[in-house]
Amino acid sequence: MTVLKNILNKARGFLLITLLLVGTRNAYAFFPDHGVATTEYTLVVEGFDWGPAVNKVIVGLDAPASTVDFKDFSVSVERSHNCADIPANQAKGNRSVVYAYISDSRGKRVKEGTFATLVLGVAPNMPLGSPFQYSQKAGCRGNTWVDYKVTVTDTKNNKTWNKEKNRLMPLVDDFDLTGKFKYEEGKAMSYASFTPKNKGAKSPLIIWLHGGGEGGTDPTIPLLGNKAANYAFAEMQTFFGGAYVLSPQCPGAWMHNKNGVTTHGEEEDVYNKGLMALIKDFVNTHPDIDKKRIYVGGCSNGGYMALKLILNEPGYFAAGYISALAYQSQFISDPQIKSIKNVPIWFVHSKDDATTVPEKTVVPVYQRLKAAGAKNVYFSYYDHVTDLSGFFGGENYYYTGHWSWIYSHVNHAKTDFDGSLVKLNGKPVTIMEWMAAQSK
């Protein structure tokens, strides 16, 4: 009888321990680095030349592991939006898993761990990979985030992960996304800012002004839509010895007049004064910014605004870097051209740009500046905007001709209008190397 009681007591103890472990197993689901799998996943979103893409998904495993086979996983996605229209073939489908490795909860590779990071195929012609949707509808014009739902299946064990727990955005996560500047009563601009991790007593400031499709109140849109977050990339920062990055966001479009209609310079836009006030406020509240090394650039709408700011206050900026300029030359007077001839500017444009036609914008502006005596003005003029990675055809792959900012964001531009290399002190330089050397 005593032996039977002991057996029963041990059984009850075993049952109690089992129940506790089951309960603990569920509780551990709240702790991302614990070795217990859940149905939750983490998305990784990064900016590419053509725009943002979901390029990784991180899932928890049932037990520690040292290897993982990407062929054991399938990934399906659904993209939806409450305003923007998404074509049926872009609304749902399968993503290709091209690689997998054991990692921690943030995707860092480890020898043994309780998470697997699945690397997904991305390309400019894979809209299923994009977390953005471009729309022309009034209620959601431009680029906006979509509701991006993922289902990961371990086909070997028939386990699924279908609930997003976290989202990582490399480089973007290094920015302060909370900036807000009131420039008029009842009117404000959002902005993102990056503080250099390694800096001296004084650090330069790089200002980037987004294109017409990235307006609104969410500064992650400009950082990813045009890959502007790349100015916080370690290699870029090295050129400047550590630089602040400021990415203001227009509530609408930089080229809008008071009636919300696009101007190409023929009349006053409604944002340049408020934007300049934002920039000066940011500089004044960061006393370690070097006021002799403030650089302003932008693409398309933002290229228009960058040139507008230089025209308004040519003595404020150390240099400009402008791609896909939308400011039409016919609306810039000769006295205005002369007023900025001593401002270092590097233009980037493509000959096949049908949106900001170069013959109306950058070509005559550049030629007029050179005729006025500008000695530190350059113009990288490409036949086409091509694939710099080489993965999609290299020079044989053509992006939309309007996307010439790609050459700025990856520091590729290095030639002048005649095709010759731009040189500084006799040495060939890229656009960022050149800009980093400019000072008032």
pLDDT tens sequence across 386-402: 999 999 999 999 999 99
Rounded Cα–Cα distance for residues 308 and 265 (Å) = 8
The residue among 213, 217, 170, 212 whose CA lies nearest residue 194 is 170
Span 195-222, average pLDDT: 95
Question: What are 224-236's pLDDT values in tens digits?
Answer: 998 999 999 999 9
Give the separation between CA 270 and CA 250, rounded to whole angstroms: 10
Run of H or E residues at 17 = helix 2-28
pLDDT at position 70 over 50: yes
pLDDT at 171 over 50: yes
pTM, full prediction: 0.90
Q: Tokens for 142?
A: 């431009």
Does the pLDDT of residue 27 top 70, yes or no?
no
**Considering the domain 172-436 in this protein, what is its CATH number?**
3.40.50.1820
Q: How confident is the model at residue 18 (pLDDT cuts 50, 70, 90)?
A: very low
Tokens of 216: 């609104």
Q: Residue ranges of the alpha helices (H) in 170-324?
A: 220-225, 234-240, 272-284, 301-312
Residue-averaged pLDDT of the chain? 92
> What is the residue extent of each domain of the chain?
40-168, 172-436
pLDDT of 1 reads: 39
Tokens of residue 211, six digits? 């294109």
What is the per-residue pLDDT for 200? 79
CA distances from 310 to 184, 345, 389, 432 (A): 22, 10, 33, 19
Please list, in sequence order, all residues whose beta carbon lies within 8 angstroms of the beta carbon of residue 71, skipping any fewer than 6 positions away. Answer: 97
Q: State the average pLDDT over residues 5-23.
A: 36
Give the Cβ contact number of residue 9 at 10 Å.
Answer: 10
- The pLDDT value recorded for residue 308 is 98
Structure tokens at 385: 């905007």
* pLDDT (0 to 100) of residue 274: 98
CA-to-CA dists, residue 250 to 110, 190, 209, angstroms? 42, 7, 9
- The answer on pLDDT for 20 being more than 70 is no
Residue pair 145/131 in contact by the 8 Å Cβ criterion:
yes
Instruction: Check residue 199 and give its pLDDT.
Output: 82
What is residue 236's predicted lDDT score, i.e. its pLDDT?
A: 96
Q: Do domains 40-168 and 172-436 have the same CATH topology?
A: no
For the segment 284-332, what is each residue's pLDDT rounded down to a tens digit? 999 999 999 999 999 999 999 999 999 999 999 999 999 999 999 999 9
Range name among 56-60, 270-274, 284-288, 389-393 with the lowest pLDDT average: 389-393
Q: How confident is the model at residue 113 (pLDDT cuts 50, 70, 90)?
A: very high
Report how far apart, in Å, the C-alpha atoms of 225 and of each of 249, 374, 401 are. 12, 33, 16
Q: At residue 133, what are phi and psi to the nearest 5 degrees?
A: -135, 130
Rounded-to-integer distance, Cα 253 and Cα 261, Å = 9
CA–CA separation, 417 vs 382, rounded Å? 9
Q: Is 151 exposed, middle or buried (0-12, 13-18, 19+ CB in 10 A)?
A: middle
Sheet of 187-194: strand order equals 176-184, 187-194, 244-249, 203-209, 289-299, 319-323, 345-350, 377-382
At residue 30 the predicted structure's pLDDT band, cuts being 50, 70 and 90, is very low
Distance CA 229, CA 169 (A): 10
Residue of 152, 154, 151 whose CA lies nearest to 63:
154
Tell me: pLDDT of 108 over 90.
yes
User: Residue 3: its pLDDT value, please?
Assistant: 37
User: Other CB atoms closer than 10 Å to residue 6's CB: what's the count?
Assistant: 10
Per-residue confidence band for 138, with pLDDT thresholds at 50, 70 and 90: confident
Of the options 2.60.40.2180, 3.30.930.10, 1.10.1740.10, 3.40.50.2300, the CATH number for the domain spanning 40-168: 2.60.40.2180
- Mean pLDDT over residues 128-137, rounded? 96
Tell me the mean pLDDT in the region 173-183.
97
pLDDT tens digits for range 346-397: 999 999 999 999 999 999 999 999 999 999 999 999 999 999 999 999 999 9
Q: What does the pLDDT read at residue 122? A: 97
